[in-house]
Amino acid sequence: MTTETTTADTPRTPAAETSTGLIALPPRIARATATAGGALTVVSAFTAWTWTSAFPGDLTVYGYPGGLQWLVLIGGALTTLFGLASYGVKGTRWLAPAGADAAIKVAALGTFATAWYTILAISTQLGGLVNLEPGGILAAVASLAALLGALALPFERPATEPADPEDTGPDQFKHNAGNTWTVIKAAFATGTLTPARKLPAYAEILILAAALALGLVVFTYGIGTEYDELFIGFLITACFGFAALSKSGLVARLSAIAARHRNVAMVGAFAAAAAFPFTQSDDQYATIGVNILIFATVALGLNIVVGLVGLLDLGYVAFLGVGAYAAAMVSGSPSSPFGLHLPFWAAILVGAAASMVFGVLIGAPTLRLRGDYLAIVTLGFGEIFRIAVNNMDGTSGPDITNGSNGISSIPNLNMFGFDFGAEHTIAGFTIGRFANYFLLMLLITLVVVVVFRRSAESRIGRSWVAIREDETAAEAMGINGFRVKLVAFALGAALAGLAGAVQAHVTYTVTPEQYQFAHVVPPNSAFLLAAVVLGGMGTISGPLVGGALLYLIPNKLQFMGEYQLFAFGVALILLMRFRPEGLIPNRRRQLEFHENEEAPATLTKAGA
């Protein structure tokens, strides 16, 4: 095995090429082909792909991309940048701390998929390949060339990039890392590998700000896609783009920077989210935004029960319903039998308290169960809640919830003279009803994040993790397992009740059908659990990202009709196959899922 003299910022770190590529080409020619193909794909986006504007996006313009061409341009640009990084070009090496070859493969595959999807969509809608202009043919050939060049690259597992050569890491980690750790120590000893140059704090904060701004742009673009073909192309580009950035080690590097500046990262993330309503000219997409926040916040509450404590709760959506019904009954609705109109701060406390009480009442007799038995009991509670509120109509039971008609005509909030149902102008921007509720829900989400973070880092949070890892061992060490789990159940229920109180005012009406175990439109218990698993159990940002994706994607894929859930199921299967730890995994879970593999591509002192 030979080594190369390099730095940690140079992707070609000491490594062994364990296998050749799928196509027999010398590595230099393969990299050149992939890089040139990506560059030509970028050029093709500035040419006409079809002769008629009948295809959505108007791909007939020379000199300016339109519609799906923008997505192909982004994929080609990523392929080109990673190709340049593989050559060690100055200014691009920082993008691939874990090596660029794997990132080139994923980026080229995503570019090929988006370009050829666009070409097939043009041919299908307009009646054949004859409708393609030379620019479309160039995009097809260039993206294919980039993919072939990428597939010819050898499979290389780059050496890991430690944050500090003095930090040897715990014995368990060294066991998981295997021979890679030995290679790294030898490289440091011989001077062939040096740690990456540490950036000043202000530079790291600027990088975080740029990453958050980019995230806002991507989210705004995805939520505002105007036609079905564009959203599918966006999904392809976003999935492969994120995978390429992960393969390159850039996502791990940004995560390490965010971990060093946690408070700045959290404030910046909420500032970026607060800017979203100001990017919208009407309430069409702000409606989706506020519902995403509600869904993601409830998923974060469920993450306490599932991610931190390890309890499988299949009826969690019922706590959202309890909070919504309780708040609706005391908010001045004419359908409420109580005739109360409390201020919002009181209504939201009533919703949270009611959900917490139900959490204790349900948890006290059932939390002595474990595993599948507990899951079945929580599933039963969810169905009992829905059936009970459906029968409380004055005929089948007491007149409390108005039966299947629910609590309707819930008035808009009015806090300190601010009417959430009216348009307001702030700094020259006009924001409507749903934008007002979006900002309110963002504050609720901030409260939930702070509660989750403080709880997870507290003594009881460590007890939750101990229960999750081994309940018998935790109880042997003096932890009262039942009491700790009951606290988690009650806290998770209360956080769901907070979100339910806002949901009742956003939707005007609360009905039993909104709180089923599984149906096409979230929130429901199945989608909430999937959001936690998809995003990453035990983390803060994971369920927020997972909840956003699982609300946005079904909302945008309604044109698929009965195939919508089929596509969703296929996506989950692929995710569990290639990234079982979730999109934003907890470090411990990531090592558990990959304990028999090489160490993850980027190590930090915190991670080690």
Question: Where in the chain do CATH 1.10.3470 domains reside?
Answer: 280-541
Q: Map residue 455 onto helix, strand or coil.
A: helix
Q: What integer pLDDT is reported at residue 595 of this predicted model?
A: 57
Neighbours of 454 (CB within 10 A): 10
Write the DSSP assignment of 469-487 as a string of letters: H-HHHHHHTT--HHHHHHH
pLDDT, one tens digit per residue, over 277-334 is 888 777 778 888 888 899 888 999 899 998 888 888 888 888 999 999 999 999 888 8
Q: What integer pLDDT is reported at residue 180 of this predicted model?
A: 41
Q: What integer pLDDT is reported at residue 519 of this predicted model?
A: 63
Q: Is the pLDDT of residue 466 over 70?
A: yes
| The pair of three-digit structure tokens given for residue 1, joined into one six-digit string | 């095995």
Q: Is the pLDDT of residue 188 over 90?
A: no
Phi and psi at residue 419, in whole multiples of 5°? -90, 115
Any idea which of 167-176, 296-305, 566-575 has the lowest mean pLDDT?
A: 167-176
Q: Is the pLDDT of residue 528 over 50?
A: yes
Give the residue ranges of DSSP H helices in 342-456.
Answer: 344-366, 371-391, 433-456
pLDDT, one tens digit per residue, over 541-552 is 888 888 888 888
Q: What integer pLDDT is reported at residue 47 of this predicted model?
A: 94
Inter-residue long-range contacts of 565-572, CB under 8 Å, 24+ positions, other chains counted: 565/520, 572/530, 572/534
pLDDT, one tens digit per residue, over 225-276 is 888 889 999 999 999 999 999 888 888 888 888 888 888 888 898 899 888 8
* Residue % of the chain over a pLDDT of 90: 25
The closest of 42, 64, 247, 26 to 143, measured between CA atoms, is 42
For domain 280-541, the question of CATH label 1.25.40 is answered with no
What is the arithmetic mean of pLDDT over 120-143? Answer: 91
